[in-house]
């Protein structure tokens, strides 16, 4: 998908794509509407983002650097979720920095 592609989308499609940036709910769009490339694009990014969040939580096991990694990751994941949601509600398919390339491979 183009990083600046803007198209008119149905409300259902946008809501499913928005769920992609809400943690574990990123799995729901893939189950409900796997055929739509727009939904699939956002769901893949959401899954990678969710896996990063889980990894950040597990990093708390390690004293010192674990907390630092968790703090930075939490801020980045929150920012990427907000950017992803804005992208969805503007009808764009914008590849998120750091995770967009990984999302294309799943």
What does each of the 106 residues of the chain score in pLDDT, given as a tens digit? 444 455 677 888 999 999 999 999 999 998 998 889 999 999 999 999 999 999 999 999 998 899 999 999 999 999 999 999 999 999 889 999 989 889 988 8
Quick check: is 49 in a domain?
yes
Distance CA(44)–CA(38), nearest Å, equals 10
Instruction: Assess contact for 8 and 91: CB atoms under 8 A.
Output: yes
- Tell me the two tokens of residue 78: 């929150």
Quick check: is 17 in a domain?
yes
92 in the Ramachandran plot: left (φ > 0), alpha (ψ -120 to 50) or beta? beta
Check residue 7 and give its pLDDT: 61
Quick check: is 2 in a domain?
no
Check residue 5 and give its pLDDT: 53
| Cα distances (angstroms) measured from residue 81 to each of 28, 57, 65, 92 | 16, 17, 24, 14
* C-alpha of 87 from chain center: 11
Check residue 4 and give its pLDDT: 47
Q: Collapsing DSSP states into helix, strand and coil, what is residue 69?
A: helix
Quick check: is 105 in a domain?
no
Range of the domain at 20: 11-99
Quick check: is 1 in a domain?
no
* pTM recorded for the entire structure: 0.85
Quick check: is 71 in a domain?
yes
Quick check: is 106 in a domain?
no
Quick check: is 67 in a domain?
yes
Check residue 2 and give its pLDDT: 45
Distance CA(80)–CA(53), nearest Å, equals 11
What total number of domains does the chain contain? Answer: 1
């Amino acid at each position: 998908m183009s990083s600046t592609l803007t198209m008119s989308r149905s409300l259902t499609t946008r809501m499913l794509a928005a769920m992609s940036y809400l943690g574990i709910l990123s799995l729901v769009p893939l189950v409900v509407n796997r055929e739509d490339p727009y939904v699939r694009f956002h769901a893949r990014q959401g899954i990678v983002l969710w896996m990063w969040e889980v990894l950040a939580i597990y990093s708390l096991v390690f004293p010192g650097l674990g907390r630092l990694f968790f703090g930075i990751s939490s801020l980045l994941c929150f920012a990427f979720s907000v950017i992803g949601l804005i992208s969805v509600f503007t009808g764009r398919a914008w590849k998120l920095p750091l995770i967009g390339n990984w999302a294309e491979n799943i």
